[in-house]
């Protein structure tokens, strides 16, 4: 749908701000309050599970209230069924736009303090953000840093459904070691990600970002933070704890981190700056009067200066021409390697290497910058073409390093926001879900409802819900299995097989623990058992009393008792 055709009741849409794999963002005016807002609109209404996650994100953010957390104004659906989210408009752009810049320590500390205070509120709500990265740090017009994009936020006390199946979430370049290894996360993972951002703002680079997804993960797990220069010595202890590999060695929570941020002495940074060795007096002492001297002509001095300027100009021009020739030669070599397909390998004789060498001589060289962008696009195309082939062949996630999922993630490591790659990963997920739905249907046809443990209908439906917790087909499938067990239980009752009926009820509840019919049948069965036990107990007591009366009515026993006084 084009921007000009987009109509949202109560809003006047001005234009598109951005577009991703699943949604696009528009600038609009909320007519009732005459204020600018950003409206995030899903591309499609067909994926109900994703739509529910979108709504869930809105509810999460709306439950938070902090100056450094984006404010949600409204959530609703368009006439075509797509959900949209109206939130505050942040005109200052995101932190990712400043990639490569070195921030003043005061500003870097201010940004981290603001985001940490917002994260403290997130964590207090029992949530972990899981995707703290520069692209998710936006700025208001006054420069206030604001945390956004809670699409992968998760309850702290519930294991991630993605982690259970070995799928890491978040952005690799800013993921904590435990996040990169698909382990259960808590608030300390967000602190690590914030530490990477702080390091990048102070030094201008992210040392953990590798040439590919795998190398980036290995760097987070194994590589120690680089040593800071003396000019940033006040941050060493702070970053050492934020970037500790083991979560237990980091700050326990963001409130402890905020206290540590307050203790950073920026005055220590000032002491490392170069200062004059001597303090000059404000007013120089008067010089003794000099004897009058004979005035000389300034012409020789002017001639000498002109000669020096001319020599310097010629020298500079010569160096400039030499540099331009070097750059031209490097660009030519880069283009030759690009044409030969040597994009990044071999490392010392690739297109990437020569473009980077050209940038080392001229860091604003447009041709070299465009060349590196072409390399990224070409590499992404190689990986996405391979991914599409594997997808067509049905190789979704296996073999581990030759599957559609693997190649899409390789492309994602090059450009984490690439819409085509994100859409490809979504296609992989949908294909895996479709396959498991087919396997579940076959299992039902073969009467493999609950067993064997890893080849049954219940197993396949639960796997799907691990990837997509709100998948309607899987939820309906589990309900179907539960009802099949309900019917089996009723048949057992009709045969008088009460133990068999109870076994069917319990199996049905394994498929759908909250099924109301099975829960009612289980309660009724337990009540029948209790009533039967009570009836048996009463019958036993009646038998004992009857036997006692019969013994007392025996004439021989009565005579015996009379003789012996018993």
Beta strands (DSSP E) in 120-278 are: 127-128, 137-139, 145-147, 154-155
- Cβ distance 460 to 443 under 8 Å? yes
Distances from the Cα of 480 to the Cα of 284, 449, 475, 517, 522, angstroms: 97, 10, 9, 12, 18
Rounded CA-CA distance 446/12 in Å is 56
Among residues 172, 284, 261, the alpha carbon closest in space to that of 219 is found at 172
Q: In what order do the strands lie in the sheet with 35-42?
A: 11-19, 23-30, 35-42, 83-88, 72-77
Residue 252, SS3? coil
Long-range contacts of 136-139 (CB under 8 A, 24+ apart): 136/94, 137/94, 137/95, 137/111, 137/197, 138/70, 138/90, 138/92, 138/93, 138/94, 138/95, 139/90, 139/92, 139/93, 139/94, 139/95
131 is catalytic: yes
Beta strands (DSSP E) in 246-288 are: none
CA triple 225-226-231, angle to 5 deg:
120
Which one of the listed residues 47, 131, 253, 405 is annotated catalytic?
131
- The torsion defined by the Cα of 342, 344, 349 and 353, in degrees rounded to 10, comes to 130
- Cβ distance 41 to 131 under 8 Å? no
Rounded CA-CA distance 160/358 in Å is 45
Alpha carbon of residue 45 to chain centroid: 23
Long-range contacts of 123-127 (CB under 8 A, 24+ apart): 123/156, 123/187, 123/190, 123/253, 123/254, 125/63, 125/64, 126/155, 126/156, 126/157, 127/60, 127/153, 127/154, 127/155, 127/156
DSSP 148-186: ---TT-EETTS--TTGGGT---S-GGG--HHHHTT----
Enzyme catalytic residues? 131
């Amino acid at each position: 749908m084009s921007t000009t055709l987009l109509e949202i009741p109560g809003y006047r849409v001005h234009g598109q701000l951005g577009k991703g794999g699943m949604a696009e963002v528009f600038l609009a005016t909320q007519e009732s309050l005459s204020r600018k807002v950003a409206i995030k609109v899903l591309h499609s209404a067909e994926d109900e599970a994703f739509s529910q996650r979108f709504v869930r994100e809105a509810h999460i953010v709306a439950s938070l209230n902090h100056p450094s957390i984006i404010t949600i104004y409204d959530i609703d659906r368009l006439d075509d069924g797509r959900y949209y989210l109206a939130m505050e408009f942040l005109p200052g752009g995101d932190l990712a736009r400043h990639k490569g810049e070195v921030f003043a320590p005061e500003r870097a500390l201010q940004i981290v303090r603001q985001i940490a205070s917002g994260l403290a509120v997130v964590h207090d709500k029992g949530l972990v953000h899981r995707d703290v990265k520069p692209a998710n740090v936006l700025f208001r017009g006054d420069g206030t840093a604001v945390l956004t994009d809670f699409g992968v936020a998760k309850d702290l006390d519930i294991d991630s459904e993605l982690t259970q199946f070995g799928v890491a979430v978040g952005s690799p370049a800013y993921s904590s070691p435990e996040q990169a290894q698909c382990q259960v996360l808590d608030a300390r993972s967000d602190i690590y990600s914030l530490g990477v951002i702080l390091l990048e703002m102070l030094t201008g680079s992210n040392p953990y970002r590798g040439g590919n997804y795998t190398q980036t993960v290995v760097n987070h797990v194994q590589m120690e933070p680089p040593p800071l220069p003396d000019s940033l010595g006040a941050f060493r202890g702070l970053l050492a704890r934020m970037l500790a590999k083991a979560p237990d060695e980091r700050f326990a929570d963001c409130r402890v981190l905020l206290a540590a941020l307050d203790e950073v002495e920026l005055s220590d940074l000032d002491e490392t700056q170069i200062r004059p060795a001597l303090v000059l007096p404000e007013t120089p002492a008067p010089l003794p009067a000099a004897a009058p001297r004979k005035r000389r002509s300034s012409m020789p001095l002017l001639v000498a200066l002109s000669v020096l300027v001319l020599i310097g100009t010629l020298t500079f021009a010569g160096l400039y021409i030499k540099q331009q020739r070097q750059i031209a030669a490097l660009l030519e070599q880069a283009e030759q390697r690009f044409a030969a397909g040597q994009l990044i390998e071999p490392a010392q004789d690739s297109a990437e290497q020569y473009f980077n060498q050209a940038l080392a001589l001229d860091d604003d060289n447009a041709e070299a910058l465009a060349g590196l962008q072409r390399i990224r696009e070409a590499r992404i195309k190689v990986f996405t073409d391979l991914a599409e082939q594997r997808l067509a062949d049905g190789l979704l996630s296996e073999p581990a390093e030759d599957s559609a999922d693997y190649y899409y993630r390789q492309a994602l490591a090059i450009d984490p926001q690439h819409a085509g790659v994100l859409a490809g990963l979504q296609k992989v997920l949908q294909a895996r879900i479709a396959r498991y739905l087919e396997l579940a249907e076959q299992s039902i046809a073969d009467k493999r409802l609950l067993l064997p443990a890893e080849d049954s209908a219940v197993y396949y439906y639960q796997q799907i819900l691990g990837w997509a917790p709100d998948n309607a087909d899987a939820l309906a499938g589990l309900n179907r299995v539960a009802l099949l067990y309900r019917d089996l239980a009723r048949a057992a009752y009709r045969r008088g097989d009460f133990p068999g009926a109870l076994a069917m009820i319990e199996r049905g509840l394994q498929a759908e623990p909250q099924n109301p019919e099975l829960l009612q049948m289980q309660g009724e069965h337990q009540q029948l058992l209790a009533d039967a036990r009570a009836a048996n107990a009463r019958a036993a007591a009646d038998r004992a009393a009857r036997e006692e009366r019969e013994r007392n009515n025996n004439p021989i026993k009565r005579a015996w008792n009379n003789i012996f006084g018993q």
